[in-house]
Structure 1
């Protein structure tokens, strides 16, 4: 439609500029062409919506019509922008409403229904990294295996999402997949070096896996960063005792 409007504008401008040298028959033919072109444009639903009065070519009113026609392309683009904004607002509201329904299902202990509901939501917003991470967090307390799937989706969409990697580390530790937990935490630390929480939780993985030397090294690094962290000091003492018992 924008191309048709541009062509009509060009035709109007040319007619205004050169009508003085046209013979009567040429003027008549030109006016008939302009009438048809403007009529076709006026039938477009967007044009109808924007024009309070129908577009119509009237001889000797070319300048007024030209002014209106020149404004149409930007008005159409503005209308498209408004519609896209409205659609995006509705989309985000739908996402928010459906996330709330997922929370309600979990609160009501309809866990299978919550997993299915959130799975459909995830598929519909498959390119939304933040949403995938949110779903993972929502499912964390009810299904560690299921939540890992969503953290993996979040990281695939946003490789710098170290928070999801760390949550994956916790979930893997809970199901005693210690190698996967270690990889998740190390990947998180590549993106957020010297994060005390990640390091401390990594030390818990090593303790649960019986890797006492790794646990000691990690806990010493934690205490180098934050010497006041009491739980890390106690964990280091615990890991050190186990190392001595193995000697």
Structure 2
């Protein structure tokens, strides 16, 4: 038996397993792909008989599945030798299942977004009412429910920034960066937080990490220069503003930053 037929047999045998797992879409897809392989391959008599029995059993499983019947109430019809007709039926079933899956996914996403919005609104209110411990507990629980959501952590951090709770904001922004290290705006926000905490050296390290993903972003170097101004590292502020201007010669704020850094070093200001 060819490798393709071996694979087709394995796919048909998965139909029952998928249905037991309440997964009608992969079950139907497995049978559809297996039949397509069978139709492409010349079969000897014994192989035709084997696959006819396997397909018949798989169709019985599908017809008896309650989950599938809810979505596609029509009974699948199969007779040995009518694989093409069955494949056409399965194609229609797949269309119905895929459409249902898309709608279900939309509902799940909408429900998730609503729960997140409600949680953030409640957390914001608690912070405004200075019920900080309650806010921390609620927002921590919300974050745990969505362990891979970097944007959520950034939004939670914004709430803490609004309440001037910079240590808490830093923690969530740090997690956001770990989950999504290429999102440059997270680095800018965490730098603001760290400047408020006067942790300039840590902020510098985050900017160096950001530069790995945005070497051509003049705003990144401008924000780094602002950090050096707060840190009173005038030579580094000069260097960063020059990098920003090299990338964007018309960057007015970077020009102002450069001249301010030059003035602090006793140097002459420059014009464009």
Report what 1:152 is aligned to. Answer: 174
Report what 1:174 is aligned to. Answer: 196
8 Å Cα contact 2:234-2:261 kept in structure 1: no
Match of 1:218 among 213, 232, 240: 240
8 Å Cα contact 2:72-2:96 kept in structure 1: no
Gaps (5+ residues) in structure 1?
11-33, 58-65, 243-247
* Count of residues in correspondence between the two structures: 215
8 Å Cα contact 2:237-2:261 kept in structure 1: yes
2:70 and 2:97 map into 1 onto residues whose CA distance is 10
How much is the aligned-residue C-alpha RMSD, in angstroms?
A: 4.3
8 Å Cα contact 2:200-2:231 kept in structure 1: yes
1:203 aligns with 2:203: no
Match of 1:44 among 65, 68, 80: 65
8 Å Cα contact 1:216-1:239 kept in structure 2: no
Residues 1:42 and 1:145: Cα distance change in structure 2 (over 3 Å): same
Residues 1:134 and 1:241: Cα distance change in structure 2 (over 3 Å): same
Match of 1:121 among 142, 155, 159: 142
8 Å Cα contact 1:220-1:236 kept in structure 2: no
2:106 and 2:167 map into 1 onto residues whose CA distance is 37
8 Å Cα contact 1:199-1:218 kept in structure 2: yes
- Superposed CA deviations along residues 40-79 of structure 1, whole A, max 9, x for unmatched, are 75553224424668x599xxxxxxxx79965445434443
1:228 aligns with 2:249: no
1:88 aligns with 2:112: no
How much does 1:156 deviate?
A: 1.5
Larger Rg: 1
- Superposed CA deviations along residues 111-136 of structure 1, whole A, max 9, x for unmatched, are 33222222111111111122222222
Gaps (5+ residues) in structure 2?
1-18, 20-26, 36-55, 78-85, 268-272
8 Å Cα contact 1:135-1:150 kept in structure 2: yes
1:187 and 1:56 map into 2 onto residues whose CA distance is 57
8 Å Cα contact 2:237-2:258 kept in structure 1: no
SS at match of 1:176: coil
SS at match of 1:138: helix
1:137 and 1:160 map into 2 onto residues whose CA distance is 19
8 Å Cα contact 1:162-1:191 kept in structure 2: yes
8 Å Cα contact 2:157-2:173 kept in structure 1: yes
SS at match of 2:252: coil
Report what 1:79 is aligned to. Answer: 100
How much does 1:164 deviate?
A: 0.8
Report what 2:184 is aligned to. Answer: 162
1:73 and 1:215 map into 2 onto residues whose CA distance is 60
| Counterparts of residues 13-28 of structure 1 (less than 5 Å) | none
